[in-house]
Amino acid sequence: MMSSRIHICFLAVFLYASLTIIPTSSLGHSHICLSDDHVALFIFGDSFFDAGNNNYINTTFRANYYPYGETFFNYPTGRFSDGRIIPDFIAEFAKLPLIPAYLHPGYKRYADGANFASAGAGALVETRQGSVIDLHTQLSNFKRMKTLLKQEIVEAEAKTLVSRAVYMTSIGGNDYAIYTANSSLFQSYSPEEYVDMVIGNLTTVIKGMHKEGGRKFAFLYLGPLGCRPAARAINAGECDEEITALVKLHNKALFQVLQKLESQLKGFKYSITDIYSIGSQIMNNPLKYGFKEGKAACCGSGPYRGLRTCGVTGVNGSVQGYELCENPNEYVTFDTSHPTERTNLLYAKAMWNGNQSVTWPYNIKALVEQS
């Protein structure tokens, strides 16, 4: 559906594109008129937020095959979930259409926003370099998008839209996965030094977004990565304490740097959501939240279905042997590391209108409503 907050200056006809429903108006640069309270979403990060950008780059980090997408879209879109991801729900709450991947060849309606996230990406350029779109490159893509945005709406309107938009970012988990798997990195940097590098790179990109006109920012803490099925599968069902310690260091450092940026950058406002606490509670008490399974994945193989085989087929197209649950809504986690659509909805609700115990100093709803 088109947003009720946008007034279209022409008759729009809809078509069904390969990733989502996209208005034909988005295929060109026809001028549109925006209402005064229109707020766009610009989305950055990793597989938690990727709506399918990796479908268009040379990488193995893709979710463009069954059973990904089975719940809502009924086909794989490139999202690492059985259905919608967090940005999809945030767009819905903000009365926007779904924001497709920036690299989707049919999407040009940047007045609603754009999704630059890339599965496998990190804050560090070196994290899976050559196989993902790192955070710095995502910022470069945003700058290119701004130029195209000025063709879609007049320049003065574009400047206002960029400043009123909300910039959502989920990043860091892949940086720490690389660190814990690479003994040479582990020996070169202490955990504290490595976290400082990750946060330093993220800070540089945030400042770059601010320089480009961004003022409202929304972040996620890293979730309980050490307790995901992938970690339990290789730790006899226990959580990985090494990565858990890194996650806690990261979350603390992220909060501290955002406090500093608030005092350093003009007009800078932020929201941060503690999905570490939320995710831990859901995993440990699934029945309380309407789930049946909190530790094992819905899709995968091996202990806790923690081996990354979900949907993978052999060279000749044969299935390589993975298990798939009957109802993803009963599971907290869909594959080895990613939430089900239902869990994403809980996270999105916390981001959108959560109270100060889970989201602070603003929630996204408050950011959207601010002029």
Chain centroid to CA 278: 17
* 335 noted as active-site residue: yes
Separation between Cα atoms, residue 231 and residue 211, nearest integer Å: 38
* 136 noted as active-site residue: no
Structure tokens at 81: 């979930």
Instruction: Say how many residues make up the chain.
Output: 371
Instruction: Give the residue ranges of DSSP H helices in the chain.
Output: 86-93, 135-152, 155-164, 173-181, 183-188, 191-211, 229-233, 241-264, 275-284, 341-353, 364-369
Q: Of residues 47, 81, 170, 271, which has the active-site annotation? A: 47
Nearest in space to 177 (alpha carbons), one of 258, 278, 247: 247
Q: Of residues 50, 82, 240, 335, which has the active-site annotation? A: 335
Structure tokens at 222: 């890293």
Q: Of residues 38, 104, 210, 338, which has the active-site annotation? A: 338
* 240 noted as active-site residue: no
The long-range contacts involving 205-210, CB below 8 angstroms and separated by at least 24 positions, are: 205/44, 205/123, 205/135, 205/136, 205/138, 205/139, 206/169, 206/261, 207/261, 207/265, 208/139, 209/42, 209/139, 209/142, 209/167, 210/261, 210/265, 210/268
C-alpha to C-alpha distances, 208 to 9, 120, 143, 202, 228, nearest whole angstrom:
33, 22, 10, 10, 32
Residues with a catalytic annotation lie at 47, 335, 338
